[in-house]
Amino acid sequence: MRHLGIDFGTKKVGLALSDEAGVMGFPHAVVKNDEGLLLRLTTLIETERVGRIVIGESLNSSGNDNPVAEAARVFGEALKAHTNIPVAYEMEAFSTQEARRDFEGNRTNTGELDASAAALILTSYLSRPHDND
């Protein structure tokens, strides 16, 4: 089953897709968070035959919601209602910072940073066994 990973932001949303086996996440795209987001993701979900959505759970270093967390949950519920696809949440601590690092640990500055963060979130989720979330 293919999974869609989402690194939700108020201005941009990073997207990642898993392989068909649902083993690893790969960066897919960065899209604007605007009034067309729900429709664009619905189209992607249908086209790629996504069976589960994984949204990064945005918490601060104390483990409490940060300002984006509530908006991400509201969006996740809307996406679930609109597509009838299950939505899971995965802790995204430091995913963007980790995505900035290249294979040698050096900071990089790419335009697809949010998609790379989404891939890290998705791969983290996929690395553990899950019952029906």
The pLDDT tens digits for 51-106 are: 999 999 887 667 777 778 889 999 999 999 999 999 999 987 645 555 454 444 54
20 pLDDT tier (thresholds 50, 70, 90):
very high
Report how far apart, in Å, the C-alpha atoms of 126 and of each of 54, 99, 101, 130 are: 9, 17, 21, 8
% residues pLDDT > 70 (the chain)? 82
Q: What three-state secondary structure class fits 1?
A: coil
pLDDT at 107 over 50: no
The confidence score (pLDDT) of residue 36 equals: 97
Question: Which residue matches tokens 């996406």?
Answer: 79
103 or 110: whose pLDDT is higher?
110
